[in-house]
A = this chain, B = another copy of it.
Amino acid sequence: MANPVVVEVVRGARVESRHRGAGAVVDADGAVALAFGEIDEPVFPRSAVKALQSLPLVESGAADALRLNDAEIALACASHSGAATHVETAAAMLAKAGLEVASLACGAHWPLGEEASRALSRVGQTPSPLHNNCSGKHAGFLCLACASGWRTRGYEQAAHPVQRAAKAAIADVTGAALGEDVCATDGCSIPTYAVPLRALAHGFARLATGVGLAPRRAAAAKRIFTAAAANPAMIAGEGRFDTEVMRLFGPRVFVKTGAEGVYCAALPELGLGLAVKADDGATRAAQTMIATLISRFVAIDGEDRARLGPFAAPVLRNWNGIAVGSLRPAGPLAETPS
C-alpha cells in the first residue's frame, strides 16, 4: 500500500510535485490521536531522536558533574548551522571534559547554514569537526564518557558504553525492539536504529509527560526540553524551521528534524508526541507535515497562526522575488472546511 500524498508543490495553477508520507500523533498511554499512512514500519529517525540520545548525559549526572549549562545541553540535541555560536559552544563542552577537537569522531563538513558557510570561506578557513551539525551531540557523548570514566576512543561505535546507553534510552522511551535488523550507520558515524513512527510519537509523548519513565529519566527529559525552549537558536540556527517554530511557541512545542524527511515533536502541555516521515526523504515535505499537525493540535490565536503559516504552506519565490507557487498540505492533511 502506498502512503497518501500529503504535500503538494504548486506552480502557477498546477501541481508540479507531490510528496507522500506517514505520520502519527500519540499520547503517553499510546492512544493514537491522529495517524495517516503506514506507522508501524520501522523508519530511521536519524537526528530527530537526538533528545533521546542525550538522556544518558543528563540523567547520569554527567552534565551536572561537568557543569554543562542549558545552551550546551540544547546543543547536544541539535543539528546546528555551524555558526560561530554553535562552534564556540561545542568547543566549550569539549573543554569542560578536558578534550580536544581531535576527539570528535563526527567528521567535518561545511556548515549547514549558508551564511555560516560563506563566513568561514570569507576568512579563508575550512571546516573542522566542530562545524559538523552533530558536533554538540558528539561533544555530549564525550562528556558522558569522561564523567563516567569510560575511554573516549571509539565512543561512536555501537559496542561502546556511550552508544549502548543511547540505544537503551531509545528502546526504553519508544518501546521499540532495536535489533541488528534495524541498525545502520548515521551520517556522523554513530549507529541509527529504525523505529516505527507510532513508537517514536509515543516516545515523545512520554518524554513530554514523564509517564512510564523512571523518575531520573523523566527529570532529564524535562531539563532537556526546558534547555531547548530557552535556547531555540542552539537547536538549528537563525531562520531555520526548528529554531523559528520553537521561538514561536516557546515551551509548548519541542520540534526536531532528522535527515531523509523525518520530524519528531512533543507538545508538553497536551501530553502528545508527533512523528512524521516523507517517503522520499524531502525535508520540505516533512516541515509542512509537522507544521500542519502542530497547528491542528496547539491552540493558537490568529496572529500566531499567521506566523506559522509560512512554515506549513510556504510561498515559493523565484530569484527575482516573484511568487511562483507554494507548498500546501494535501490529502489527510488538507485544510478541512471550517
Contact = CB atoms under 8 A, between A and B. Distances in A.
A65 interface: no
A324 B191 CA distance: 10
A106 B322 CA distance: 11
Contact of A185 (B17, B106, B124, B322): B322
A260 interface: yes
Nearest to A183: B12
A40 to B, nearest CB: 15
A61 interface: no
A118 to B, nearest CB: 4
Interface residues of A, number: 53
A13 B184 contact: yes
Interface string A131-171: 01000000000000000000000000000000000000000
Contact of A44 (B11, B188, B192): B11
A18 interface: yes
A282 interface: yes
A79 to B, nearest CB: 13
Contacts of A194: 14
B189 A320 contact: yes
B184 A324 contact: yes
Contacts of A109: 319
B14 A281 contact: no
A13 B122 contact: no
A20 B17 CA distance: 11
A16 B183 CA distance: 12
A19 interface: yes
A114 B107 contact: no
Contact of A14 (B42, B122, B278, B319): B42
Interface in A279-293: 279-282, 285
A318 interface: yes
Contacts of A260: 9, 16-17
A211 to B, nearest CB: 30
A95 interface: no
A192 B325 CA distance: 13
Given A189-B318, A320-B105, A325-B184, A282 B279 contact: no
Residue among A18, A261, A280 facing the most chain B CB atoms (10 A cut-off): A280
B186 A324 contact: yes
Residue among A11, A181, A278 facing the most chain B CB atoms (10 A cut-off): A11
A281 B281 CA distance: 11
Interface in A76-128: 105-110, 114, 117-118, 121-122, 124
A189 B322 contact: yes
Contact of A124 (B18, B122, B281, B321): B122
B188 A280 contact: no
Given A11-B184, A110-B114, 5 more contacts: A12-B185, A16-B260, A17-B278, A20-B20, A121-B122
13 contacts: A9-B260, A12-B184, A13-B181, A17-B261, A18-B279, A108-B319, A110-B114, A118-B121, A184-B324, A188-B318, A188-B319, A189-B319, A280-B282
